[in-house]
Amino acid sequence: MKRITSIPSFATPVLALVIIACLLLILEPHFLWKLQESNLFLNSRVFFDELMVEPGGLLSWAGTWFTQFFFHPWVGVLMLCGWWLLLMWLVRKTFCIGCRWTPVVVVPVLFLLVTIVGMGYWIYILKLRGHAFVGTIGTTAAVALLWAFRSVVERVRLRPTLVRCVFVLLTCAVGYPLLGIYGLAAAVLMSLWIWRLEPRRLSALAVSLTGFLSVGLLPPFFYRYVYYQTNIANIYFAKLPLYYVTERYTSFYVPFILLLLFFVVMVFLPQRTKGEKANGLIGQAQGAGSPFTKRVSTNGQKADKRLSRNALQETLAAVLLLIVAAVYTACSWYRDENFHHEVAMQRCIDRLDWEGVLKEAAKQKDEPTRAIAMMRNLALARLGRQGDEMCHYRNGCKKCNAPFDIRAVNSVGALIYYHYGMPNYSYRLCMERGVEFGWRVEQLKYLARCSILSGEQQLAHKYLGLLKQTLFHGTWADSMYTLAEKRVALVASPEMGFITHMMHYDENLSSDHNLVEDFLMRQLMSASYTGDPLFVEQALFATLWAKDTKEFWNHLYNYTRLYPDRQWPVHVQEAAMMFGTLDHKKQMDQWPINSSIRENYKRFDQMAERLEGADWKKANTALFKLFGQTYFYDCYMINFPSQN
């Protein structure tokens, strides 16, 4: 027993925090980076005012401020852990939790952790600003208010009922505009807690009634007289993320419900009185403090044994509770290979680390999403290796692992359009998404880039001016000012130089219907411009994607004309071999196609013929084994445009 109690009372929570921090940094560095790219904090009055038009605006403001530190994931994690440490300390202090029960203070932190690491594809469409910190700061503030309430209950002796009622009312009246639902939750918990803290039923009733009436009536009051930007249906849920696309995804609210339940349980458990605290009857040395302790005698050996047994049971119970919460956290932690590859690739692209993108692509085990395939092809194009290597990687078109419909257009649409030289469409996507889901650093950066590419200098200055107000993107903005002003610098820049070669699409008045790859490839394929070898090469690759033999021959002719001395890329040779055979082209033996490719195609053709009518899965496996790195396989087995 002594060994148990001698462990520093806060060691378990601190250890838990260290583990959480390590896990975050090891498992989610790219996701954390993406969190800050999907965030925006501007150091301006306009930004502050814009957030304050909704209840809980201050919470979002603070949340966005802290989220920006994920730019360096370890700094963000340090800050998050700092908040969680404060929360755990407050929980322990507020509910006077003794050392044996101390592990349970980690439980709310785990629930809050789930709200972040369980996001997955919500990261692209969640509207709540500063989400990663909003829950944490809101909960911490609510617990701090509970602590203050407890102090008021215990210390104020002059008109105590009135003072408590005023305190609860103020919690709601001030807490709601500043903290949204967290202010309301604090008032609700106070209204419940008073029945444990106050033995006089009438006084408790008064406080409780004040609390519940405030929670019920103040939000409609604020809705009617203060805020214009909240629907009446949402007034009680201000600053709770809205997991809604075409329907409500209630499972994502589970950690919030558990968080509330945790505190409801805390306030319903028997409370230690001020006297007990003063006498140290239930302190660290004596055992766990309320709400989880029973009063125990310290006299005699029997009592000692009972104490020891009780203490052990309590410690085990606390640890068990923590384990259950940890298991729940582990199960709710979103680990999807494609999602993580997508985010990692986006980060590499942001750094222009094209080899990094390919390294990520090489790790791919599962069937990739089109977003992954597109980013990989982009990296290969940037490195001038697309024609020789694009079929060397796992290809596919797997749906995103999310319960709602999310496509490449949501995750990488703007990125792809920009890098493939369609600034109008990239700009449009950023604008639409910024309006719908709130402005993010990522969008402002693409808006600025697109404006630069389109020669809209003043517009670029607007977005760069905003980015200069951020803590971590000002330097990037400064570097972009030069590109905005000097076309020569733009053409020579490592980022935009390539893109300027791609801006030769035909003028069309149309729409992409949210199908990025399909639209882009068809625009490339139908482009009539033949002045730039890079553009023509991409147009040729687009025909491979579309499996369009007619356009393939057209673009191959242009390609050969522009690159008379260059050998056809491997996959182009494969396509020429395949399409030529299918189109019964003559004199194919004179084409510059490598003999090994000719042989390989023969083998593929024979095998494909043999497998005709066979089970698709079996045929796929057999063909992949031998021809998985050829265009023959991709052309036969991958249905590119089905889901992008």
Partner 1 sequence: MDIHNKSRLFLLLLLPAILLVSCSPSLPKDYDDSNVLPRIYPDYVGVTIPVNIAPLTFELDEKADAMVARYTSGDCEIVCAGKMQPKLAAWRKLIAVALNAKTSTPDSSLSTPDSPHIQVDVFARHDGCWTHYHPFTINVSSDSIDPWLSYRLIPPSYVSYEALTISQRCLENYDERVIYDNMLCGLEVNGQCINCHSYQQYNPQRMQFHARQNYGGTVIAYDGELKKVNMKNDSIISAGVYPAWHPWMKLIVYSTNHTYQNFFTVCRDKIEVYDSESDLIAYDINTDEVTNIENRSDELEVFPAWAPDGRTLYFSSARFVRNDSIKDATTDVVARYDSLHYNIFCKSFDPKTKKFGPRRLVIVTDSLLVGGGSALLPRISPDGRYLLFSMAPYGVFHIWHHAADLWMKDLQTGAVRPLDEVNSPDTESYHTWSSNGKWIVFSSRRDDGTFTRPFFSHIDEEGVFSKPFELPCADPDYHRQFMKCYNIPEFLRSPVTYRPHDFARLLKGEGVPVKYVQRLSE
Contact residues for partner 1, defined by CB under 8 A: 42, 44-47, 224, 228-234, 242, 244, 246, 422, 424-425, 427-428, 431-436, 439, 454-456, 458-459, 461-462, 465-466, 469, 503, 505-512, 523
Instruction: Give whichever of 425 and 535 is closer to partner 1, judged by the CB atom.
Output: 425
Axis crossing angle, helix 160-179 with helix 201-225, rounded to the nearest 10: 30
Whole-number Å distance between alpha carbons of 194 and 192:
6
536-545 as b/e: b if 16+ CB within 10 A:
bbbbbbbbbb
Which residue number, 408 or 466, has a Cβ lying nearer to partner 1?
466
φ/ψ of residue 244, rounded to 5: -140, 125
466 vs 556 by CB, closer to partner 1: 466
Q: Minimal distance in Å, beta carbon 511 to partner 1?
A: 6
Task: Specify whether the CB–CB gap between 322 and 16 falls below 8 A.
Answer: yes
User: Shortest distance, CB of residue 432 to partner 1, whole angstroms?
Assistant: 4
User: Which residues have CB under 8 Å from 255's CB, separation 6+?
Assistant: 111, 112, 114, 115, 118, 332
Question: Contact at 8 Å (CB) between 286 and 4?
Answer: no
Which of residues 469 and 620 has its CB atom nearest to partner 1 in the complex? 469
- Which residues are 248's β-sheet partners? 244
Minimum CB–partner distance for residue 100 and partner 1 (Å): 45
Query: Minimum CB separation from partner 1 for residue 501, in Å?
Result: 15
**Residue 219 to residue 57: CA distance in whole angstroms:** 14
Of 482 and 621, CB closest to partner 1: 482
Alpha helix (H) ranges present in 583-630? 595-610, 616-627
Q: Which is nearer to partner 1, 436 or 615 (CB)?
A: 436
- Which residue in 576, 505, 547, 575 sits closest to 641, CA to CA? 547
Give helix 160-179 / helix 181-197 axis angle, nearest 10°.
160
Least CB distance to partner 1 at residue 640 (A): 21
CB of 470 to partner 1, least distance (A): 12
CB of residue 224 vs partner 1: minimum separation in angstroms?
6
Residue for token pair 């972040």 = 116
Nearer to partner 1, 33 or 505 (CB): 505
Shortest distance, position 77 Cβ to partner 1, whole Å: 30
* Nearer residue to partner 1 within complex by CB, 92 or 239: 239
Q: Which residue has the tokens 């950690």?
A: 255
Q: Which letter does DSSP use for residue 53 in this model?
A: T
- Indicate the residue among 135 and 434 with the shorter CB distance to partner 1: 434
In terms of CB distance, is 40 or 544 closer to partner 1?
Answer: 40
Nearest to 189 by CA among 268, 115, 258, 256: 268
Strand partners, 480: none
Q: Is 469 exposed, middle or buried (0-12, 13-18, 19+ CB in 10 A)?
A: middle
* Of 211, 101, 217, 85, the residue nearest 152 (C-alpha): 211
Least Cβ distance, residue 138 to partner 1 (angstroms):
21
Find the shortest distance in angstroms from Cβ 633 to partner 1: 32
Q: How far apart are CA 204 and CA 197, in angstroms?
A: 8
Q: What is the dihedral of CA 413, 417, 419, 420, to 10 degrees?
A: 140
